[in-house]
Every structure is written in C-alpha cells, then in structure tokens.
Amino acid sequence: MLKIENLHATVADREVLKGLTLDIKPGEVHAIMGPNGSGKSTLSYVLAGRDGYDITEGSINFMGQDIGEMEPEERAALGLFLAFQYPVEIPGVTTTTFLKTALNAVRKARGEKELDPASFLKLQKQKLTELGMDADMLKRGVNVGFSGGEKKRNEVLQLAMLQPKLAILDETDSGLDIDALKVVADGVNALRAPDRSFLIITHYQRLLDYIKPDVVHVLAKGKIQKTGGPELALELEQKGYADFYDEAA
C-alpha cells in the first residue's frame, strides 16, 4: 500500500525528515506519535504533495507507483487522502459543491463516470446520516463558521465520500473535546476495511483509545525511532518523549 524508504525532505531549505522508512500494508492502521517539531506534519504534507515540501532523497511508493513527483490531485486520484489538522475555510463555495467537485474530479481521473446530481445527493445524504451530521452544514461555505468539531467531522465526511485507499489523519484530535473525538473516531472506525489503510499522526495517545492501531511508531528528529504495538502508545503516555529527545540528540 504505502512504502516509504529513507525519506529525506526539506521545508524552506531546512531538512526536516532525515531518513524515514515506513511500510503500511492494506487494512492496517498505523499511528505515528512524536513530540512537537519532530516532523509529523511535514510527513503528512510531503505525502500529500504540498508545494514547498521537497524530497531530497529516498522514495514514496503508493499503490505500486512512485508518487514523489506527483501533483496533490494526482495522489488523491490514486487514493491518498489527508485529513487536515487545520481544515481551510472557503467562503462562497458550499460544502455540497466542494464535495461534488472533488468526487467527480477523482472519479474522472480514475476513468469512472461522473455522478449525476441525483446519485450524488443520494450518496451524500447516506454518508451524512451514517456520520450523524446535520444537513445544514452542506449549504454553508466550506468550514466557514464551523466549530473545531464540525471542521473535523467535515474532514471525515470527505473521507467517507472519497473512499480513499489510504487516509492520513493529521492531528485530528487537536482542539476536540471528548464527545467530538468519539464522533470522529466512530466515523473513522466505520470506514475501516481490508483494503483501506490509515496513518494516524498524533501527539497524544488519547485518540488511540478510540481508533485502535495495529502498529505504533515514534517519530523524532525526522526519523522513526521506535516501532511497536498499541502498548507503545501507552508507554509514551506515561513516560513522555524525553527518551527520544536524548536518543536522537
């Protein structure tokens, strides 16, 4: 599914990822935990193809293709999805328009037929109901005036609509209270499938109480420092990241 080898990446000429290796198989849920500044968000942006995040060494292979040089939309068409830590507000474009444009763009890129308006609305309604979301948000500008919880739920709605192969959740738990966190986690759990993988990027162990990972990695100083099972997350919660600062220093 996703194979990252010896990835080095720079942001504004500063090397942030320094030889990161990661292998995610279909259906697996991986968590990457790490202290602030360890390169977590950089990893998510590099994977999604954000402008200004440059790969200087190593490779990213996704669905059998080297995606390192691809545009963000090409990666999305291949089945990569990034749930943003800070979803962007787009006034004047309704959530429905946004979802329809995105879904049809991805379908078109995959050589599938675009959905007609009726089928689209039906699908949208179904996903909305499954996620227990208010239809009112569809008529509002994308993320405009949404609470933190609503923004994250909107990310999960997009995830549910686009049905990616790999979903990267970047600090999805930040700014959420426990109820909102549960709703978001339920939404994600409902999407778990044998051919769909997740990469959960988080500072805290809390989210992993609700979305059970198969594998937990510790990222510090731009590299995976340690890999283990769910118990590693609990250990980090108790001991903090101090060991890894020392180890990596």
Partner 1 sequence: MAQAAVHSFKTETLQREEAMPWLAPAAVLGGDNAPAWIAALRETGAASFAATGLPTPAWEGWQYTNLRPLTPDVFTFDAAGDVAAQDLPAPLLKDSHRIVLVNGRLRPDLGTPLPDGVKLTPLMEISEPEEELATVGSLAQSPLLALNCAYMRDGFVLDIAPHRDITRPIEILFMTAGNSPAVYPRVLYRFGENSGATLLERHAGAGAALTNLYAGLVLKAAARGRYYRFIDENGDAVHVSRTVVRSHKSSDFQGFSSVSGVAAGRQEFGLELLDSGISSSIGGVYMLKGRQSHDFTILADHFEKDGTSVQHFKGVIDDQARAVFQGKIHVRRPAQKTDGYQSHHALLLSDQAEASAKPELEIYADDVKCSHGATAGMLDTDGLFYLQSRGIPVAEAKALLVHSFLSETLEKITRDDVRALYAARIAAWLNAPVEEAAA
**Residues at the interface with partner 1 (CB under 8 A):** 48-51, 71-73, 75-77, 81-82, 84, 87-88, 90-94, 97-98, 101-103, 105-106, 109, 139-142, 144, 158, 162
Query: With respect to partner 1, which residue has the nearer C-beta, 91 or 229?
Result: 91
C-alpha distances in Å from residue 33, one per residue of 199, 218, 219: 10, 5, 6
Please, what is the minimum distance in Å from the beta carbon of residue 133 to partner 1?
Answer: 17
Cα torsion through 182, 178, 150, 118, rounded to 10: 10
> Which residue lies nearer to partner 1 by CB, 18 or 151?
151
By C-beta, is 16 or 232 nearer to partner 1? 16
Residue 135 and residue 150 in contact, taking contact as beta carbons nearer than 8 Å: no
- Please say whether the beta carbons of 158 and 102 come within 8 A: yes
DSSP string, 8-77: EEEETTEEEEEEEEEEE-TT-EEEEE--TTSSHHHHHHHHHT-TTEEEEEEEEEETTEE-TT--HHHHHH
Closest CB 88 distance from partner 1, rounded Å: 4
Kind of pairing, strands 215-220 and 223-228?
antiparallel
CB of 141 to partner 1, least distance (A): 4
Q: Which two tokens stand for residue 149?
A: 């919880």
Nearest-approach distance from CB 93 to partner 1, in angstroms? 5
Q: Is 92 left (phi over 0), alpha (psi -120 to 50) or beta?
A: left
Considering the complex, what minimum distance in angstroms separates the CB of residue 191 from partner 1? 16
Residue 160 Cβ, how far from partner 1 at the closest point, in Å? 13
Give the number of other Cβ atoms within 10 Å of residue 136's Cβ.
Answer: 8
Residue placing its CB nearer to partner 1 in the complex, 73 or 247: 73
Nearer to partner 1, 144 or 224 (CB): 144
Nearer to partner 1, 2 or 218 (CB): 2
